[in-house]
């Protein structure tokens, strides 16, 4: 693990955490941007062109100051500068894993923090975005789940995570060909379907062909199972769906993923069966965390296959990533292999997700805001073991 020196970080944190009355334009929709321009006395007939130009500078070119926008006249640039900002959130820390994974701890103007993770592959990579500060779900195996929900992120704060990552890789202007940041997964902190409006607005900005221009086919949203929102996600955004299943019987899932008490497995799978756009070319991903002696038997695997019959699906087996005080252990390699073999034989792809960035606590379920308020609870097992709370 390499903890980078705070080169410029302190200044940028200070710059972004002192109260700035100016409104950020990052994450505003095109309509909102048009409103702001009218408020700055841009003549109505020029507004659409100005929106287009601003959009191009912000999301295609990655401008960090209005002064760089050379196609926009000096007077308007000055007016924008007076009332608005393009500042990124403060970078409270950037860490790099031995395997190339990068993690940013971002600090917003109110001092709240989230983590964003970039997971590189050979010639591309996925950026894992957070949707909330903290989380309400309390999944017992998830580090973020030990944190209370503090608040939803705004659309601008979600979009800003993408800008920070692309700043870090210098991936401006948006490349037409292969990209480092080729995919986005809404799999960071929080439950995206509990903050749907802001997530949707942010993803529309990210997908906009005149900006970051990332296709919906390269975006996957993961939910623990907010059943009433699943259909809207498919109909309105058309992004790929991942579902954190983790257990095949309601009793156990009630415990591991407590939202199951409200929306049990049958209701969740029904929603998956109806997911707009799901097809053999566009399968639903079922995530399944491998917990030793908890959910990893061959009988679990067989029941899983039975449950998802008829759904265009693939599995994503996630070896449990430990965190301080976690009440679980990862399944043995042998158990994971046997589980995967059963699912494979039934005709489903079941890759085992190689843990990435574990050394910097950047792997699935390990994210947490450093400045989080006190933990909501300690698991019984962790208390019994006398382990410190997550
Ligand atoms: N709230 C959404 C988004 C989080 S996605 C959801 O639940 O789907 C993060 C994924 O990592 C989820 O599948 C989550 O269940 C899984 N996860 C959480 N903690 C983990 C851990 N310690 N080890 C492995 N996977 C974990």
pLDDT tens digits for the chain (390 residues)?
334 333 344 444 444 545 678 999 999 999 999 999 999 999 999 999 999 999 999 999 999 999 999 999 999 999 999 999 999 999 999 999 888 889 999 999 999 999 999 998 888 899 999 999 999 999 999 988 778 888 999 999 999 999 999 999 899 999 888 898 999 999 999 999 999 999 999 999 999 999 899 999 999 999 999 999 999 999 999 999 999 999 999 999 999 999 999 999 999 999 999 999 999 989 999 999 999 999 999 999 999 999 999 999 999 999 999 888 899 999 999 999 999 999 999 999 988 887 777 878 777 777 777 654 444 443 333 333 332 222
The per-residue pLDDT for 19 is 63
Contact 307, 262 (CB under 8 A): no
Residue nearest to atom 10 of ligand 1 (CA): 364
Task: Decide whether 23-85 matches 90-360 in CATH topology.
Answer: no
Rg of the chain's alpha carbons, rounded to an integer? 22
> Nearest CA to 198 among 18, 190, 110?
190
The full set of domain ranges for the chain reads 23-85, 90-360
Query: How far does residue 364's CA lie from ligand 1's centre (Å)?
Result: 5
Q: How far apart are the first and last CA of the chain?
A: 20
| DSSP-assigned letter for residue 118 | E
Q: Look at ligand 1, atom 5, and give the residue with the nearest C-alpha.
A: 187
Q: No. of H helices and E strands in the chain?
A: 12, 14
The SS3 assignment for 36 reads helix
Secondary-structure breakdown of the chain: helix, strand, coil percentages, each rounded to the nearest 5: 40, 15, 45
**What is the 121 CA–ligand 1 centroid distance (Å)?**
20
CA–centroid distance, residue 365 to ligand 1 (Å): 5
Q: How far apart are CA 336 and CA 178, in angstroms?
A: 33
The residue contributing the CA closest to ligand 1 atom 19 is 365
- Which residue's CA is the nearest one to ligand 1's atom 17? 365
Q: Closest ligand 1 atom, CA of 321?
A: 23
- Looking at CATH, the fold of the domain delimited by 90-360 is given as TIM Barrel (3.20.20)
Q: Is residue 130 lining ligand 1, measured as CB closer than 6 Å?
A: no
- What amino acid positions are annotated as catalytic residues? 115, 364
Query: Tokens for 169?
Result: 């890789």
Is CATH 1.10.150.530 correct for 23-85? yes
- H or E element that contains 243: strand 240-244
**Ligand 1 lined by 287 (C-beta under 6 Å):** yes
Under 8 Å between Cβ of 389 and 146: yes
- Could you check whether the bond before residue 370 is cis, i.e. omega within 30 degrees of 0? no
- Whole-number Å distance, alpha carbon 187 to ligand 1 midpoint, is 7
Kindly state if the Cβ of 142 falls inside 6 Å of ligand 1. yes
Question: Atom 7 in ligand 1: which residue has the minimum CA distance?
Answer: 224
Q: Is 40 exposed, middle or buried (0-12, 13-18, 19+ CB in 10 A)?
A: middle
| Angle, CA of 278, 240 and 274, to the nearest 5° | 35
Please give the number of the atom of ligand 1 that sits closest to the Cα of 131. Answer: 3
3-class DSSP state of 204: helix
């Amino acid at each position: 693990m390499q903890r980078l020196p705070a080169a410029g970080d302190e200044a940028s944190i200070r710059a972004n955490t002192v109260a700035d009355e100016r409104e950020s334009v990052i994450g505003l929709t095109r309509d909102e941007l048009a409103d702001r321009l009218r408020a700055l006395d841009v003549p109505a007939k020029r507004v659409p062109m100005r929106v287009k130009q601003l959009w191009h500078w912000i999301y295609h070119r990655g401008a960090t100051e209005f002064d760089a926008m050379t196609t926009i006249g000096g007077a308007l640039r000055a007016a924008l500068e007076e009332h608005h900002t393009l500042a990124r959130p403060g970078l409270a820390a950037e860490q790099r894993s031995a395997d190339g994974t990068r993690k940013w701890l971002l600090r917003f103007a109110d001092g709240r923090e989230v983590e964003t993770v970039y997971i590189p592959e050979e010639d591309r990579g996925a950026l894992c975005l957070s949707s909330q500060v903290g989380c309400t779900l309390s999944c017992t195996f998830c580090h973020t789940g030990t944190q209370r929900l503090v608040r939803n992120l705004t659309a601008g704060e979600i979009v800003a995570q993408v800008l920070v990552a692309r700043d870090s890789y210098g991936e401006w202007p948006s490349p037409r060909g292969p990209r480092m940041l080729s995919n986005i997964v809404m799999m960071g902190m929080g439950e995206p379907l509990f903050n749907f409006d802001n997530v949707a607005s942010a993803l529309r900005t990210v997908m906009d062909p005149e900006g970051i221009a990332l296709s919906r086919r390269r975006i996957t949203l993961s939910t623990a199972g907010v059943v009433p929102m699943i259909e809207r996600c498919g109909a309105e955004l058309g992004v790929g769906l991942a579902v954190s299943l983790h257990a095949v019987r309601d009793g156990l899932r009630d415990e591991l993923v407590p939202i199951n008490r409200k929306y049990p497995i049958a209701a969740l799978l029904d929603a998956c069966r109806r997911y707009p756009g799901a097809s053999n070319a566009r399968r639903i991903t079922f995530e399944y965390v491998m917990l030793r002696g908890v959910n990893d038997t061959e009988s679990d695997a067989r029941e899983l296959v039975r449950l998802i019959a008829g759904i265009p699906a693939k599995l994503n087996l996630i070896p449990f990533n430990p965190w301080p005080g976690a009440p679980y252990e990862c399944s043995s390699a042998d158990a994971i292999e046997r589980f995967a073999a059963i699912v494979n034989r039934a005709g489903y792809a079941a890759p085992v997700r190689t843990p990435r960035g574990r050394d910097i606590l950047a792997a699935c379920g390990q994210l947490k805001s450093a400045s989080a308020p006190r933990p909501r609870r300690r698991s019984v097992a962790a208390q019994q073991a006398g382990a410190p709370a997550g």
